């Protein structure tokens, strides 16, 4: 399946793409568009149609949904509601993505800082996804290893 989101991925968009490839659709492809073009691509226009949008206005998984969830949280709850490590990671991503909420989660400050460096060490969003997978695999593994 093809997924579309805004260009310049950082915390939530990178984490959401990782979650999609890891737990929802291992063969997922991603297209990075200008913010105003994401909803049109999901609706069948723009970049070829037949896409699911995330972290953009007017798409299935918006930046912040009516329940206050980021797209990562929505997908984690929809696809793996009983995965405690993934739910904990969803909380960290939420706090890091909505920076005003970082204080409630010390890990979020680190994730936010690391994510701000993505465009400084990668050539484009595709490379960010490829290189950041190790970060999210590692964080997920650490959370899974914590006692329940």
Residues 108-138: pLDDT tens digits? 999 999 999 999 999 999 999 999 999 999 9
Taking 70 as the threshold, does the pLDDT of residue 16 lie above it?
A: yes
Range of the domain at 39: 2-145
Q: What is the pLDDT of residue 31?
A: 96
Residue located via tokens 């400050």: 109
The enclosing H or E element of 51 equals: strand 51-53
Q: What is the pLDDT of residue 148?
A: 65
What global pTM score does this model have? 0.93
pLDDT level of residue 18 (50, 70, 90 thresholds): very high
Q: Between vectors from CA 100 to CA 95 and to CA 106, what angle results, nearest 5°?
A: 45
Q: What is the pLDDT of residue 147?
A: 86
Q: Between vectors from CA 70 to CA 115 and to CA 35, what angle results, nearest 5°?
A: 75
Q: What is the pLDDT of residue 113?
A: 94
Q: What is the pLDDT of residue 104?
A: 75
User: For residues 69 and 108, what is the distance between their CA atoms, to the nearest angstrom?
Assistant: 15
Q: Which residue has the higher pLDDT, 46 or 140?
A: 140
CB 92 within 8 A of CB 111: yes
Q: What is the pLDDT of residue 45?
A: 54
Q: What is the pLDDT of residue 23?
A: 97
Residue-wise pLDDT tens digits, 55-111: 999 999 999 999 999 999 999 999 999 999 999 999 999 999 998 766 778 899 999
* Total domains present in the chain: 1
Q: What is the pLDDT of residue 43?
A: 87
Taking 70 as the threshold, does the pLDDT of residue 36 lie above it?
A: yes
CB 145 within 8 A of CB 139: no
């Amino acid at each position: 399946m093809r997924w579309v989101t805004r260009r310049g991925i950082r915390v939530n968009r990178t984490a959401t793409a990782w979650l999609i490839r890891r737990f929802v659709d291992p063969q997922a492809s991603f297209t990075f568009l200008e913010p105003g073009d994401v909803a049109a691509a999901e609706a069948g226009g723009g970049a070829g149609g037949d896409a699911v949008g995330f972290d953009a206005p007017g798409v299935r998984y918006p930046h912040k949904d009516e329940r206050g969830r980021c797209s990562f949280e929505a997908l984690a709850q929809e696809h793996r509601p009983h995965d405690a490590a993934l739910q904990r990671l969803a909380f960290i991503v939420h706090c890091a993505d909505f920076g005003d909420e970082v204080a409630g989660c010390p890990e979020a400050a680190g994730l936010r800082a690391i994510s701000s460096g993505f465009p400084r060490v990668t050539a484009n969003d595709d490379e960010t996804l490829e290189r950041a997978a190790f970060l999210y695999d590692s964080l997920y593994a650490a959370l899974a290893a914590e006692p329940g």
